[in-house]
Amino acid sequence: MANILIHALFIVVFLAMLLPFLLVLAISVTQENSLIRHGYRLIPAVFSLDAYSYIFRSPLLLVRAYWITIQTTILGTLGSLILTSLTAYVVSRKDYRYVRGTTFYVFFTMLFNGGLVPSYILMTQYLHLKDTIWALILPGMLTPFYILIMKGFIGEIPRELIESAKVDGAREWRIFFRIVLPLSKPALATLGLFIAFNYWNSWFPALLYVNNERLVPIQLLLTRMMNTINFLSTNSQFMSGISIDTSKFPNLSARMAMTVLAAGPMMFVFPFFQKYFVKGLTVGSLKG
């Protein structure tokens, strides 16, 4: 009886997660007038691909934006994992003289930061990264929260392994890359998934630091498309001199189509990390 209740609970949770996505998908392929007349339905009243047709009107622009996002996600995730694990390894070592001060410094940055204006001045005036792909990568490269989580995981690696490697003549770099990193695969996969999601969904750094249209990521491009649709739909009374029928713009369905295009690729990535993700659910937890 207990197993039946547990399975029923997980089925309910699964449906609670699946049905909203199916609803989003159904709305994205529903005709705009049908949405206004009948509301949202799981089964489209009138099937239409107008929303996707509008978004794919400039396919090269969309492909280029996807490519920028893919580059940013891959480079940012790999760089962030390396820096996060290096920092976490240092602050997890009990024999490091300044472990308390360094840990407090990492934690302190979770409470206070430099602010938007100093960050913008640093990126544009001192680092000269405006209109470069690194302006999309560096702001999210190192996250204090992920460092502390990784520190908790690395701290559980038996100290004897590191000591025996030192006895055999291994230096710190070799210990880190040959012992610590292989044993940290569950933590790296779990944090890597979170970091990749953050980079994939990030659009604010591009809004701040990118004016070059060739460096616009997919999230910012879709946001601009949505703003254009909203503007044309809400300001049609001021466009009497332009021959555009704004009533046919896929306003509601386009929102959901953009959600599918933005989130869809990451849904196919998650299964490859699933076996590590399950192991890493307790990453950084403390033993009683």
Whole-model pTM? Answer: 0.78
> What 3-state DSSP class applies to 113?
coil
In the predicted structure, residue 246 carries a pLDDT above the cut 60? no
Of the ranges 27-36, 174-183, 223-232, which one carries the lowest mean pLDDT score?
223-232
The enclosing domain of 74 has a CATH number of 1.10.3720.10
Total count of domains within the chain: 1
**Integer Cα distance of 57 and 225 in angstroms:** 11
pLDDT band at 109 (very low <50, low <70, confident <90, very high): confident
Instruction: Please report, for residues 67, 137, 143, 206, 235, the alpha-carbon distance to residue 72 in angstroms, rounded to integers and kept in the order given.
Output: 8, 6, 16, 11, 35
Of the ranges 32-46, 101-115, 181-195, which one carries the lowest mean pLDDT score?
32-46
Tens-place pLDDT, residues 153-211: 888 888 888 888 888 888 888 888 888 888 888 888 888 888 988 998 888 889 889 88
Question: Does any domain span residue 34?
Answer: no
Phi/psi at 9 (5° precision): -65, -45
Phi/psi at 98 (5° precision): -105, 35
Question: Does any domain span residue 157?
Answer: yes
Q: What is the DSSP letter of 124?
A: I
Q: What is the residue-averaged pLDDT of the chain? A: 81
What spatial distance separates the first Cα and last Cα of the chain, rounded to whole Å? 32
CA angle 61, 71, 123 (to 5 degrees): 95
In the predicted structure, residue 148 carries a pLDDT above the cut 70? yes
pLDDT recorded at residue 97: 86
Q: What is the DSSP letter of 286?
A: P
Question: Does any domain span residue 202?
Answer: yes
**Integer Cα distance of 236 and 246 in angstroms:** 7
pLDDT recorded at residue 280: 52
**Integer Cα distance of 224 and 228 in angstroms:** 6
In this prediction, residues 130-156 reach a mean pLDDT of 89
pLDDT band at 288 (very low <50, low <70, confident <90, very high): very low
In this prediction, residues 143-148 reach a mean pLDDT of 90
Select the highest-mean-pLDDT range: 206-220, 248-262, 269-283.
206-220
Question: Does any domain span residue 176?
Answer: yes
Question: Does any domain span residue 236?
Answer: no
Question: Does any domain span residue 25?
Answer: no
Tens-place pLDDT, residues 265-279: 767 766 666 665 555
pLDDT recorded at residue 286: 43
Question: Does any domain span residue 253?
Answer: no
Its domain, for residue 84, covers 58-216+268-282
CA angle 184, 196, 21 (to 5 degrees): 120
Question: Does any domain span residue 17?
Answer: no
